[in-house]
Structure 1
Amino acid sequence: MVAQRLRTVLRSLTAAAFALLLFLPAGPDTARAADSTAGAAAAPELLLGQSTRGAWDDFHTFGQNADGGSVYYELRAGDWVNPAHRAYATLLAEQGKTVQVGISWKDNPPGFEGGDENAKAARSRAVTAELAAGGHTASLDRLLAFTEAHPRARFKLRLDYEVSSFYHCTDAGCSSYKNAFNRLAGYLDSRSGAHNLEYVFHPVRGEFEAMYPGDAAVDWMGVSVFAHELCLPLYDRGPLYNGTPPQNYDVAAKQCRNAYIGTDAHGNPAAVWRNFDHDANVLKLLKFARDHGKPVVLSEAGLMNFTADGSSTDGLEQQAGDLWVKRLFSLMNYRGPIPNLPGTHDLSGVIRSVAYINLDFRYGWDGIDDGSFDFPPDTTWFVDGRLSRYGAAKASFCQGLAANGFTARCR
């Protein structure tokens, strides 16, 4: 109990330091003040991949000093999703790097014996309630042993990922997930002597406010950034747009089209239409995180099948991939209106960590060309996201790292 209270105090201090980092004016004195209060938060992190060391190895053919990576752990098995995930986590942890771990139950809920997606979601919701009641803690023992064995590493634990009411809420107020998040964080804190655990609330874009577990347990807010989040179309046996053109999507410009609350020629409040490079829900999530003093991690970020028509077999998105990279880094520095909200908003500095999935998705989620699983060439995920394969996109990524103060850089 004492450890949990101490953790709550430290979390409050971290949030206060982050808020100070955001709101202090720029300048040399600011840098010293930020460093003294927020420490390593002054430099954003680059995490690589979502499964295997292939993402790490590819980046380091042209880059250096990445901060860590991302892997998955399954509640049902009480173990890493597969040995490759554990091996990558070990590689990172032994270097004292950051390891983002997606603790999953919605994709393969404990006790689920088969059925359609509705049946799986129903079981996932039940598991969420069981977690809130203190169940399934033994499934975390292997993960806790791992984090204890690597005290120099930092672990960002996503208490499930891309959480949503469909998979996690048993009531309108979503007390099931909120209580599960807080119960899990409390349990892990009570068992961790290394104190190297941080907790990530990673919702789907539109449900962040309704499902928020509260400031006390949340260290980071997470969000996925693929196609729609950056207002880019994607190809999945035909083009898919972010909304219905032309009302909500400008096909030619590849931008979202939304109204925000501005002023008319007389200075009166009025709806103003404009094009956006970033999805409204993502901008609102960043504002919500800023208002709560929480840094944001782009927990999953990667290229998709933006333009291909199935005729190409290289899986490369040269032109759209470069645009995606530029919009990714422009999101880190966003200043401007937010759809359906008044005023302008400075969201620069809210994103403090980026997990780029630097893998070849033509060969499945782990990007391994072993013949076990390939995505069909005309579907969304048919894309080679390895930066080493790109010219302009890689150059823009390297420029973005340098311009935004990442420790990771290109050689």
Structure 2
Amino acid sequence: MPHPRPPRTAARLLAALALAVLAALPAGPATARADAGPRTPAAPRTATAAAPELLIGQSTRTAWDDFQSYGQDADGGSVYYELRRGDWVGDHHRDYATMLARQGRTVQVGISWKDNPPGFPGGDENAKAARSRAVTAEIAAGGHTAALDRLLAFADAHPAARFTLRLDYEVSSFHHCTDASCSSYKNAFARLAAHLDARSRAHNLEYVFHPVRGEFEAMYPGDAAVDWMGVSVFAHELCLPIHDRGYLYNGTPPQNYDIAASQCRNAYIGTDAHGNPAAVWRNFDHDGNVLKLVKFARDHAKPVVLSEAGLMNFTADGTATDGIEQVRAEQWVNRLFSLLDYRGPIPNLPGEHDLRGVIRSVVYIGLDFRHGWDGVDDGTFDFPPDTTWFVDGRLSRYGPARAAFCRGLAANGFTARCR
């Protein structure tokens, strides 16, 4: 079951109330208060010694049911909510969230505006990103908060559940920053967190900063606003080869691919034979930006959630589950758990780094991505059958990977277990 969340400090709640009062004032132009300051700093939340969480799926209970075929006692799941409509992305998201919340579990909610910005009439990706940046500044100035009323009422109606809210997901300067300092996103994050804190009766909300890998430091909203740092972990983040339509991105046929070349080769600051500082080359099993993000979270006393983790891009044939897919899936699982237990060098940084215990939550998506982002084979949407970007990512289909996943849960102290 979910772990009890530590109470917010009085200073943090008072700061949230103060910002809520500001948010209630007329906002003026969208940029009028884009530089509104974050909440008053409070003692940072630290990772606890409690068992790490396993959250299952995204969007529907399909992945939950698949995990239940071989496992039990997962802590919760993940869904999406859209700022544009002020509602869940679909009924299936709401229904899955309801199932989890009624059981008092953790519900990770991705609150999105970059994918479908409020007020965006349509156009190309650059126009959509420009509108997303404008919406970010509008949020920082106090706008769009009414769109969260439905979500807030839902959380209040389920006080025994715990809601970890990603204030947009895989955030980036391209979609969220109006200037080099990225004050727009930092202040938008703080504004939304303050608004929700001030109006929450159940006080069961926590806030996740989930950036793209390379921009976590430049976009960080600050210790007072952030409860968790999130990161996505698919193939590249674990230095595994990425396939599409039977070929790797560099055009190499899979049968001719050297697995050693799939690892990330980076330099880190070690010592030479005489003990002097020197650049040392090493093949890593984890992307350097992911390791640096986890270190950054540790340095700021924030736990990390792997907000999206799943099997994608790993097969030479989008319909197969019996060849190279078995090997890739097992490698992915082993590297996932080795990230949770990482102690070693980090590219371009001196020394050794102990990152064990910083990652406190894993969202394993576990869907058949060939049938779309919801993984439901209902005939409404499928990815093209010849693509191998989107594949069957259910561990129930890969015996060695499933066994490795079960061992990883037990070895890392998860409450979730395999049957």
Task: Tell me, yes or no, whether TM beats 0.5.
Answer: yes
Aligned to 1:300: 308
The 3-state SS of whatever aligns with 1:42 is coil
Given the alignment of the two structures, is residue 126 of structure 1 paired with residue 157 of structure 2, yes or no? no
Structure 1 residue aligned with 2:409: 401
* Cα distance in structure 2, aligned partners of 1:286 and 1:366: 28
Cα pair distance change 1:404/1:228, threshold 3 Å: same
Are the counterparts in 1 of residues 11 and 40 from structure 2 also a CA contact under 8 Å? no
Look up the match of 1:34. none
Matches within 5 A, 1:176-195: 176-195=184-203
Displacement of 1:386: 1.5
Report the residue type matching 1:171 in the other structure. D
Q: Which residue in the other structure is 1:319 paired with?
A: 327
Alpha-carbon distance in structure 2 between the residues aligned to 1:315 and 1:298 = 28
Normalising by the residue count of structure 2, what TM-score does the alignment of the two structures yield? 0.87
Shift of 1:4: 2.0
The 1:9/1:3 distance shift into structure 2, 3 A limit, reads closer
Alignment pair present for 1:270 and 2:270 = no
Task: Give the counterpart letter for 1:175 in structure 2.
Answer: S
Answer yes or no: is the 8 Å Cα contact 2:315–2:324 preserved in 1.
no
The more displaced of 329-338 and 299-308 is 299-308
Q: Which amino acid aligns with 2:309?
A: A
| Structure 2 counterparts to residues 66-145 of structure 1, below 5 A | 66-145=74-153
Q: For residue 352 of structure 1, give the secondary structure of its aligned residue in structure 2.
A: strand
Alignment correspondent of 1:339: 347
RMSD after superposition: 2.1
**Contact 1:316/1:384 (8 A) holds in 2:** no
Deviations 1:171-197 (A, max 9, x none): 000000000000000000000011100
Counterpart of 1:4, as a letter, is L
Distance 1:371 1:314 in 2: 24
**Comparing 227-236 with 206-215, which one deviates more in the overlay?**
227-236
Cα distance in 1 for partners of 2:323, 2:188 equals 40
> 1:314-353: CA deviations, max 9, x gaps?
8992110010000000000001000000000000100000
1:122-271 to 2 correspondences below 5 Å:
122-237=130-245, 238-240=247-249, 251-271=259-279
Structure 2 residue ranges without an equivalent (≥5): 1-9, 17-38
Contact 1:47–1:67 at 8 Å: present in 2 too?
yes
- Between the aligned partners of 1:63 and 1:79, the Cα distance in structure 2 is 31
CA contact (8 A) 1:315 1:382 kept: no
- Please tell me whether residue 14 in structure 1 is matched to residue 23 in structure 2: no
Aligned to 1:12, what secondary structure does the other structure show?
coil
State the SS of the aligned residue for 2:154. helix
Shift of 1:252: 3.5
Inter-partner Cα distance in structure 1 for 2:218 and 2:106: 29
Partner of 1:25: none
Give the deviation of 1:5 after TM superposition.
2.9
Distance 1:359 1:207 in 2: 28
In the alignment, the residues of structure 1 paired with residue 200 and residue 388 of structure 2 have an alpha-carbon distance, to the nearest angstrom, of: 40
1:71-112 Cα shifts (integer Å, max 9, x gaps): 000000100000000000000000000000000000000000
Change (3 A) 1:350 1:313: closer
- Tell me, yes or no, if the aligned pair for 2:314 and 2:389 is still in contact at 8 Å: no
Determine the C-alpha separation between the residues in 2 that align with 1:337 and 1:315.
33
Deviations 1:8-36 (A, max 9, x none): 79962633xx3xxxxxxxxxxxxxxxxxx
Q: C-alpha displacement at 1:144, in angstroms?
A: 0.3
Aligned residues: percent identity?
Answer: 80
Match of 2:14? 5
Cα 1:374–1:313 shift into 2, 3 Å: farther
CA distance in 1, matches of 2:41, 2:104: 21
**Contact in 2 for aligned 1:46/1:408 (Cα 8 Å):** yes
Q: TM-score scaled to structure 1, two decimals?
A: 0.89
Aligned 8 A contact 2:63 2:367 in 1: yes
Number of equivalences: 382
Equivalent residue number for residue 362 of structure 1: 370
| CA gap 1:92/1:298 in 2 versus in 1, 3 angstroms | same
> How far apart, in 2, do the equivalents of 1:126 and 1:341 lie?
36
Q: CA offsets, 1:150-184, max 9 Å, x none?
A: 00000000000000000000000000000000000
- In the TM superposition, what is the alpha-carbon distance from 1:234 to its structure 2 partner? 1.2
What do residues 264-296 of structure 1 show as CA deviations (whole Å, max 9, x unaligned)? 111111110010000000000000000000000
- The equivalent of 1:31 in structure 2 is none
Q: Which residue of 1 aligns with 2:30?
A: none
**How far 1:311 sits from its partner (Å)?**
6.8
Cα deviation code 1:119-142 (max 9, x no counterpart) = 000000000000000000110000
SS in 1 for 2:268: strand
Displacement of 1:2: 6.9
Match of 2:398 in 1: 390
Write the deviation string for residues 179-219 of structure 1: whole angstroms up to 9, x where unpaired.
Answer: 00000000000000111000000000000000000000100
Structure 1: runs of 5 or more not aligned: 19-37
